[in-house]
Amino acid sequence: MSNSNFSIAFYGWIIVLEMVKNYAITFLGVVFCFLFACSAIPPKNTKTQIRVINNSSFFLSHVSLFSMTFGDLKPKDTSGYKELSYDPLRHDPLIYCIIEETNYGRYLKIPEESTKYYTYVVDSLNNGIIYVSSYAGDK
């Protein structure tokens, strides 16, 4: 192999290696930016947070909304917020609870998707009917 052929082959390999290096740097830069962007910007919590307030004079046991359990609530007690997980094909838009060994249930208004916080208030129990009001609002 002559010197000129060797030089051409040598410079050809240098060009190939330079291109591989540039592609590798670009690839790593894209991967780094993607990973950085994913971890630097925390995901927004866009789901509605719901809670229950027991404004009645009764002890509510086994409180459940949209098939999500909220436990027991004493009179004038408030539950913590929970992320609404509602699938209309699997869950009922109902509040269930037990008051003095009797099961009660009532259909609820479903909050709009744009609502951040939504509160359901058990107002009273009268003639076997549980009365529930609701409102959207800040935490």
Asked if 73 and 56 count as a contact pair (C-beta separation under 8 A), the reply is: no
Asked if 120 and 131 count as a contact pair (C-beta separation under 8 A), the reply is: no
Series of mean pLDDT values for 10-residue runs along the chain (139 residues): 58 68 69 58 69 95 93 95 90 92 93 92 93 88
DSSP 44-90: P--SPEEEEEE-SSS-EEEEEETTEEEEEE-TT-BPPPEE----TTT
Classify 139 as helix, strand or coil.
coil
Q: Quick check: pTM over 0.85?
A: no
Q: What is the pLDDT of residue 71?
A: 93
Q: What is the pLDDT of residue 85?
A: 87
Please give the C-alpha separations between residue 34 and each of 31, 44, 86, in angstroms, as whole numbers: 5, 17, 31
Asked if 54 and 73 count as a contact pair (C-beta separation under 8 A), the reply is: yes
